[in-house]
């Protein structure tokens, strides 16, 4: 992600660790933090739900359960209100700073979006959409990456309609986050996160366990006991991805796992994951990981 020229023109660099520049609208507040030297166990706490996205560099994050993980560009961490983040900056230096944005979301606006979804796009299983993002660390899809990038420019420019623009984009961002959280659940269905196998859940499990079989819309909609058009619409509403996008996501993630953990060559990997040709496999893999599969195997 990129920072706008207006940010660099107006920001004041006063602290070498987590120098803070803040922008606000009626519904949200965005902070950009810069760190120019190595540091450990830096703590941050916010009053609202926070979406933190890496712009440049690497942070090392500590969870409450004492597990740790690296936080890099192209990823987001969502933290509940009043939850302290503990952060290390192992690589930060003056010539290569670490930069991160923290978007504080107004609780009332999040509630309104969730209420709207429950009124207009009820979930297939009858359960309610809920904004329950308890310390959620995830990789951006293209839509969320684009939204976060656009929000950086909207907050930092001095446009008379900024509040209106930001409000609409945040509404879209919340909906896409809910869909991605739902999609993550489906991708991890084998971990028994669900108490029962419902139609879309049943299909997602079938996809994961039958990557080399017929995964056409006709076949999948039949498994869900729906018409093809209703299945397609319902699947995308529940997960934020079309069935084909979901299948490719599962396939390239399995391919990455095989490349890292086995001695299989590239042909064996893409065939094991259900791809029919090397060119399409390479294109889908690079779209998801921004790297060629051959780089992983090298």
Domain with 268, as residue range(s), is 194-297
Last residue of a domain, one of 187, 202, 227: 187
Angle at 156 between CA 153 and CA 160, to 5 degrees: 95
CATH number at residue 220: 1.10.10.60
Angle at 69 between CA 64 and CA 74, to 5 degrees: 120
- 26-45 core/surface letters (b: 16 or more CB in 10 A; e: else): ebbbbbbbbbbeebeeeebe
Angle at 248 between CA 149 and CA 121, to 5 degrees: 65
Contact 167, 159 (CB under 8 A): no
The total number of structural domains that make up the chain: 2
Q: What is the dihedral of CA 125, 131, 134, 139, to 10 degrees?
A: 80
Q: Do residue 151 and residue 245 come from a single domain?
A: no
CATH number at residue 173: 2.60.120.280
Q: How many residues does the chain have?
A: 298
The tens place of each residue's pLDDT in the chain, 298 residues long, gives 788 888 888 888 889 999 999 999 888 899 999 999 999 999 988 888 899 999 999 999 988 777 888 999 989 888 888 888 899 999 999 888 999 999 998 888 888 888 888 888 767 666 778 777 777 888 888 888 899 999 999 998 888 899 999 989 999 998 888 888 777 766 654 444 433 347 788 888 899 889 988 899 988 988 888 888 888 888 888 888 899 999 999 999 999 999 989 989 999 999 999 998 899 999 999 988 888 988 887 6
Q: Do residue 216 and residue 260 come from a single domain?
A: yes
So what's the pLDDT on residue 255? 92
Last residue of a domain, one of 154, 187, 220: 187
Angle at 168 between CA 163 and CA 174, to 5 degrees: 120
Which DSSP letter does residue 189 get?
G
């Amino acid at each position: 992600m990129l920072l706008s020229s207006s940010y660099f023109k107006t920001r004041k660099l006063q602290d070498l660790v987590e120098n803070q520049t803040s922008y606000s609208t009626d519904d949200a507040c965005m902070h950009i933090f810069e760190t120019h030297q190595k540091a450990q166990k830096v703590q941050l706490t916010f009053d609202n739900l926070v979406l933190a996205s890496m712009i440049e560099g690497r942070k090392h994050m500590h969870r409450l359960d004492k597990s740790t993980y690296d936080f890099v560009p192209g990823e987001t961490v969502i933290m509940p209100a009043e939850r302290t983040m503990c952060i290390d900056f192992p690589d930060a230096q003056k010539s290569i700073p670490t930069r991160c944005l923290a978007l504080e979301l107004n609780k009332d606006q999040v509630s309104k979006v969730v209420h709207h979804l429950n009124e207009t796009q009820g979930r297939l299983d009858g359960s309610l959409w809920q904004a329950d993002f308890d310390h959620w660390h995830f990789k951006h899809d293209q839509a969320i990456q684009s939204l976060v990038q656009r929000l950086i420019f909207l907050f930092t420019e001095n446009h008379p309609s900024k509040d209106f623009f930001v409000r609409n984009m945040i509404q879209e961002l919340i909906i896409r986050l809910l869909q991605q959280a739902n999609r993550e659940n489906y991708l991890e269905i084998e971990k028994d996160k669900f108490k029962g196998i419902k139609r879309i859940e049943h299909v997602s499990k079938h996809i994961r366990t039958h990557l080399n079989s017929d995964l056409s819309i006709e076949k999948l909609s039949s498994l869900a006991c729906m018409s093809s058009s209703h299945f397609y619409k319902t699947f995308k509403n529940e997960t934020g991805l079309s069935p084909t996008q979901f299948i490719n996501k599962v396939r390239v993630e399995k391919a990455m796992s095989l490349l890292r953990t086995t001695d299989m060559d590239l042909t064996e990997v893409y065939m094991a994951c259900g791809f029919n040709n090397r060119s399409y496999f390479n294109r889908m893999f690079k779209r998801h990981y921004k790297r060629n599969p051959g780089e992983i195997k090298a």
